[in-house]
Amino acid sequence: MTTTRRLFAQQSLAALGAGTALAASAASGSSNAIHRPALLLPRRLQPGDTIGLVAPSHAFFEREPFELAFEAVQAMGFKVKPGAHLRARYGQFAGTDAQRAADVNAMFADDGVAGILALRGGSGCSRIVDKLDYGLIQSRPKFFGGFSDLTALTNAIHARTGLVTFHCPMGTAEWNAYSLNNFRQLVMEGEAALLRNPTPERGDALVAKNDRTRALRGGKARGHLLGGNLSVLAGLAGSRFWPDFRGAILFLEDVNEPIYKIDSCLSTLRLSGALDQLAGVVLGGFTKCEPGEGYGSLTLDEVFDDYFVKPMNIPVYRGASFGHIKRQLTLPVGAAAEIDADAGTLQLLQPVVLTQA
């Protein structure tokens, strides 16, 4: 590890621990403290760098999505290196478990690859989470990004290695101006950015309906960011890839899940003890998460009240711009941030990439 990387890791870990239950446990000399690897930051991405495109989840069944992803990454100023099995298929997956894991490991091992971006989500990452070479990843930290099903890998990699990973648009995303600018701020420019929704626009309507945030419980708190897709995250509970939630700010989104499934997944998080340890909660898009069939359903409002508002006295806000929506924030998994639920913002407490080699 270079002197610069070691300094950034030390500074990041110090900021991360401030005000959290982990720091309190360490101060009291508790022998029950869970080991959390020292924070590792990837080098910032620069124009001309090579991005490895991998497909750890579903396959595509047409050629055009590959073309669009290559063009998007190149338009950002990067070179593209496709994974060896990027176009493979095994059932719905982009190759066998061994092939998909091998592509991720190979990209971390390749010193010519500066960062790794997932082509798409779907399902299947949980099948390879135990097949990654975490020792290799820890020894060669670099940018790794994706969302949705990639939640399994972004959280597992951080939990096992300390590397900050990124919940961000994938290769086949739209990469509109909002999403791209936010990505560049964090990953290419190394800014300790303020993460907030686009300014709501009402047009000729009386009130703006889009891009609004709403505090379910106001206040501010500091902690490390963990989360992503709720149903995928819940699938890691009880495994050795489960992150350390003490003092964390949990961010969640989901898509195409009935409300009873959202309730069930939150119950899993509660029973695991994760919810009791949080410093704050940020809820993004829960796209097409509807009641489904049956005798009736709780609303999402009621479910969130039951798990986050009634039993907890921490800041919580809803409507953040991430998830299966058009304009997406990039969220650094493992990085220290301050939540302001009343303002609907997350302020990063330090850069989340190394700004020097």
Q: Which of 12, 85, 231, 253 is catalytic?
A: 253
Residues 6+ apart with CB under 8 A from 65: 119, 120, 172
pLDDT digits (tens, 9 = 90+) for 160-169: 999 999 999 9
Average pLDDT over residues 63-77: 97
293 included as an active-site residue: no
Q: Which residue has the higher pLDDT, 357 or 194?
A: 194
Q: Which residue has the higher pLDDT, 19 or 312?
A: 312
Span of 15-19, 138-142, 277-281 with lowest mean pLDDT: 15-19
Tell me the average pLDDT of the chain: 91
pLDDT of residue 3: 41
148 included as an active-site residue: yes
Q: Residue 3 corresponds to which amino acid?
A: T
**Residue 316 in tokens:** 């919580």
pLDDT at 267 over 60: yes
Bridge pairing between strands 194-196 and 345-348 = antiparallel
Q: Which of 167, 231, 324, 338 is catalytic?
A: 324
pLDDT of residue 185: 98
pLDDT of residue 31: 37
pLDDT of residue 116: 98
pLDDT of residue 296: 75
Q: Which of 148, 179, 231, 321 is catalytic?
A: 148
pLDDT of residue 7: 40
pLDDT digits (tens, 9 = 90+) for 289-301: 999 776 678 999 9
How far from the centroid of its chain's Cα atoms is residue 208's Cα?
A: 28
* CA torsion through residues 12, 16, 19, 25, sign: negative
pLDDT of residue 83: 98
* Strand blocks (E) in the chain: 50-54, 79-82, 115-118, 143-146, 165-167, 194-196, 214-217, 220-229, 248-255, 280-287, 316-318, 331-333, 336-340, 345-348
d(CA 34, CA 31): 9
pLDDT of residue 34: 61
pLDDT digits (tens, 9 = 90+) for 203-256: 888 998 889 999 999 999 999 999 999 999 999 999 999 999 999 999 999 999
Q: Residue 17 corresponds to which amino acid?
A: G
pLDDT digits (tens, 9 = 90+) for 10-55: 444 444 443 343 333 333 333 344 678 999 999 999 999 999 999 9
CA of 5: how far to CAs of 1, 109, 192, in Å?
Answer: 6, 18, 17
Q: Would you say 181 and 76 are in contact if contact means Cβ atoms under 8 Å apart? A: no
Query: 25 has which bridge partners?
Result: none
pLDDT at 320 over 60: yes
Q: Rounded to the nearest 5 degrees, what angle is found at the Cα of 124, between the Cα atoms of 325 and 188? A: 50
- H or E, element range at 75: helix 64-75
Q: Would you say 50 and 192 are in contact if contact means Cβ atoms under 8 Å apart? A: no
